[in-house]
Homo-oligomer: A and B are copies of this chain.
C-alpha cells in the first residue's frame, strides 16, 4: 500500500502549537503517514470559507486521502463528530456543514458518527476535539482500521447552502462567495452558467466596476486593469491584474455581481 496522506484544515492560525499538537497525536499512532496543511488561516469560526477551501482542494489529492477539518464553534456542545466516506476520500470533522461542499450527497458512501471513545485520546478536553477526537480517528483510519469501528452509520449530515445564481431575461445575478489572498473576488457563478452565452458579449458589473468580456488569464489585461475570468476552481472571478480587486473597490463576501448579455 502506498503511503497514506492526511490533510489538515483549521481556523487555528499558526502562532500557537494547536496544529503541531494534532500532528504529534497522529504521528504517535501512525509514524508513516504523510501530512499536508491545506490552510490554518480560515477566519475564526467561518464555516463557509473553510468549506469552500476544502472543496477547492480535495479533488487534487490521491484516492483514499483523509481530510481532517476543524472550524468548530460548537465544540463541546451537542454537535456530532463525523467521518464521511465518499467514493474518493475520507472527511473527518464537526457536523456543522464544514465538510458538506467537498462531500456532495451523490458521492457519499456512508456517514459515521464518531462515538467509540476507544479510538479517542484517553484524557479528553471539551475545547479541543481536533486533538482529542479528529486527529486520533484520522490516524487509526490511516492504519487501515475499518470506518464502522469508530461508531454507528447515520443517515444525514448538516449541509451548507450557498447563495444561488438568479437568472433574468437579460442576464444573471450572482454573489461574491470568497476572497482569496490576492484580493481576487470569487463568485458563485460557474463556467456552466456562462456556457449558453458568448464570452465577448458579457458585461460584468460589480460596485463601480464595468468589465466587458470574460478573458482567459490575468495577463490578457493591462497591469492595474480589472478582468473577469473563469478561475482555477471553474468559477467566475473578478480580479485586478497585479492588484487587489477587494481593496480597490472595497468589496466583501456577499457583494452582488450582475452579468448582462449584450446583443
Contact = CB atoms under 8 A, between A and B. Distances in A.
A253 interface: no
Interface of A is mostly: loop
Interface stretch (A21-29, A105-113, A157-165): A21-29
Contacts of A241: 73
A14 B37 contact: yes
Given A23-B36, A53-B16, A31 B75 contact: no
Interface residues of A, number: 68
State the number of copies, please. Answer: 3
Interface stretch (A122-130, A146-154, A194-202, A255-263): A122-130
Interface string A37-58: 1111110110000000110110
A177 to B, nearest CB: 13
Interface in A2-36: 2-3, 5, 7, 9, 12-21, 23-25, 27-28, 31-32, 34-36
Contacts of A17: 9, 38-39, 53-54, 56-57
Given A36-B23, A126-B217, A242-B44, A60 B28 contact: yes
A40 to B, nearest CB: 7
A254 interface: no
A254 to B, nearest CB: 18
Interface of A: 2-3, 5, 7, 9, 12-21, 23-25, 27-28, 31-32, 34-42, 44-45, 53-54, 56-57, 60-62, 65, 73-77, 79, 125-128, 131-132, 180-182, 216-220, 223, 229-232, 241-242
